[in-house]
């Protein structure tokens, strides 16, 4: 019997992680009865998805950067659609990365009209640009949502939605060893550790890391014994290592998932670029300060479009600034250092923030079914429905 051919398409580190989880779950359901094709990163490659190009070049941040990268995005979307035409998948799952996956969906609609298209992670229409719900409804057949509050926005546009949960809420810290991290960097049990998480996109590194470095310099001048650890996402590891090597104060750059989890459990406080990592840090019980910067043009436009005052998911869930968010011009060395110093110096403040983060995580659905398994089940249910049972 011919195996089910599933095409998975992801263009960023978080999507690569979700795609790998979905592939593992489908293999657990179907065993040898499934094969994978598509576009992804190292994690998806480990599960059998051999990407025809490096997705790092599609990790784009900002309107200006997007305009400059447009020819490349179009070329890679064409290449991805051609891969589908060649491999004839039974279903395509397009993971996050709004601009790129939308273009792929539009091309597949024309080239293979009957091919089931599933979007995994919808655009945040509850925060900005609600018209994207209608656009997505015209491009795909079904949405797998990671937020329980997504469905009404997309269903109103005529797009069926299955809530599968957020994989970030199921991150497994059972094998993480904070002592192993401390031993690796030569830190005593009582020495404070600052975890610096500068993002997974080249644009984030370019805009955010200089401000993070400035904050580290201020804190290290005040606290020579402060240990600084910088886990680097695979998509930006080389550039992070290169830039951190030039810092005046020593910092340890880590690569790999196991080392990152060790560091999260060992950290006293974290300085994080807005993104999935803030949820992961909250799960690890780390109080944090969130920083983010966009290009001036992008920021000016988004200020008029954004409908929520929060950018961090657990802050959105709580409708409160549990973690301080320093955005754009406010994301600078002195401001970041001030907020971090407050938490380094006050154990009670750290404890209150961790408690509030935990309450918000519960609101977000922590403890629910495994999202990868739920997504795999939803994909198979969609295919059964289309096949008439």
| 216 is a domain residue | yes
Short-list 113, 132, 134, CA closest to 124: 132
124 and 67 in a common domain: yes
276 and 218 in a common domain: yes
| 173 is a domain residue | no
Q: pLDDT tens digit string along 313-327?
A: 899 889 899 999 999
Q: pLDDT tens digit string along 284-314?
A: 999 999 999 986 666 555 565 566 688 898 9
Q: How many CB atoms lie within 10 A of CB 67?
A: 11
187 and 142 in a common domain: no
33 and 145 in a common domain: yes
| 304 is a domain residue | yes
> Nearest-5° angle of CA 15, CA 273, CA 200?
35
Lowest mean pLDDT: which of 91-100, 145-154, 194-203, 254-263?
Answer: 145-154
What CATH number should be reported for the domain holding residue 9?
3.40.50.2000
Q: Which two tokens stand for residue 281?
A: 């840090």
378 and 258 in a common domain: no
Q: How many domains does the chain have?
A: 2
| 170 is a domain residue | no
Short-list 330, 329, 332, 308, CA closest to 320: 308
354 and 279 in a common domain: yes
Q: pLDDT tens digit string along 332-387?
A: 999 999 999 999 999 999 999 999 999 999 988 888 889 999 999 999 999 999 88
| 187 is a domain residue | yes
CA distance 160 to 141: 7
134 and 25 in a common domain: yes
Short-list 3, 4, 73, CA closest to 39: 73
CA distance 376 to 374: 5
Using the structure block, give the residue that is written with the tokens 């950018």.
Answer: 311
Provide the domain limits for residue 192: 178-364
297 and 374 in a common domain: no
Q: pLDDT tens digit string along 237-282?
A: 999 999 999 999 999 999 999 999 999 999 999 999 998 899 999 9
Residue 120: pLDDT above 90? Answer: yes
Q: How many CB atoms lie within 10 A of CB 167?
A: 22
pTM assigned to the model: 0.72
160 and 257 in a common domain: no
| Sign of the dihedral defined by the CA atoms of residues 126, 130, 134, 137, in that order | negative
| 9 is a domain residue | yes
């Amino acid at each position: 019997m011919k195996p089910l051919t599933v095409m998975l398409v992801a263009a960023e580190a978080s999507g690569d992680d979700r795609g790998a989880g979905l592939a593992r779950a489908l293999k657990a359901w179907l065993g040898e009865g499934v094969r994978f094709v598509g576009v992804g990163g190292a994690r998806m490659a480990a599960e059998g998805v051999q990407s025809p190009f490096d997705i790092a070049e599609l990790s784009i941040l900002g309107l200006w950067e997007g305009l400059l990268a447009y020819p490349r995005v179009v070329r890679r979307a064409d290449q991805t659609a051609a891969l589908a035409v060649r491999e004839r998948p039974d279903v395509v799952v397009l993971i996050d990365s709004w601009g790129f996956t939308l273009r792929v969906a539009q091309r597949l609609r024309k080239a293979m009209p009957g091919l089931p298209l599933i979007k995994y992670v919808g655009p945040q229409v509850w925060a900005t640009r609600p018209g994207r719900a209608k656009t997505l409804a015209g491009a795909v057949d079904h949405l797998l949502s990671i937020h329980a509050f997504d469905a009404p926005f997309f269903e109103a546009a005529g797009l069926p939605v299955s809530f599968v949960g957020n994989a970030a809420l199921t991150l497994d810290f059972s094998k993480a060893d904070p002592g192993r991290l401390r031993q690796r960097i030569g830190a005593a049990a009582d020495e404070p550790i600052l975890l610096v998480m500068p993002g997974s996109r080249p644009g984030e590194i370019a805009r955010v890391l200089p401000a993070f470095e400035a904050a580290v310099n201020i804190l290290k001048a005040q606290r020579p014994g402060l240990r600084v650890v910088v886990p680097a996402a695979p998509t930006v590891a080389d550039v992070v290592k290169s830039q951190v090597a030039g810092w005046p104060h020593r910092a340890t750059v880590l690569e790999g998932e196991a080392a990152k989890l060790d560091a999260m459990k060992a950290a006293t406080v974290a300085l994080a670029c807005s993104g999935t990592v803030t949820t992961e840090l909250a799960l690890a019980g780390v109080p944090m300060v969130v920083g983010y910067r966009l290009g001036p043009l992008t920021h000016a436009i988004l200020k008029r479009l954004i409908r929520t005052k929060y950018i961090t998911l657990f802050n959105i869930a709580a409708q409160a600034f549990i973690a301080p968010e320093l955005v754009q011009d406010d994301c600078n060395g002195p401001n970041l250092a001030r907020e971090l110093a407050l938490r380094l110096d006050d154990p009670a403040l750290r404890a209150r923030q961790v408690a509030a983060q935990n309450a918000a995580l519960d609101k977000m659905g922590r403890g629910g079914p495994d999202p990868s398994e739920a997504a795999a089940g939803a994909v198979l249910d969609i295919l059964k429905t289309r096949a008439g049972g």
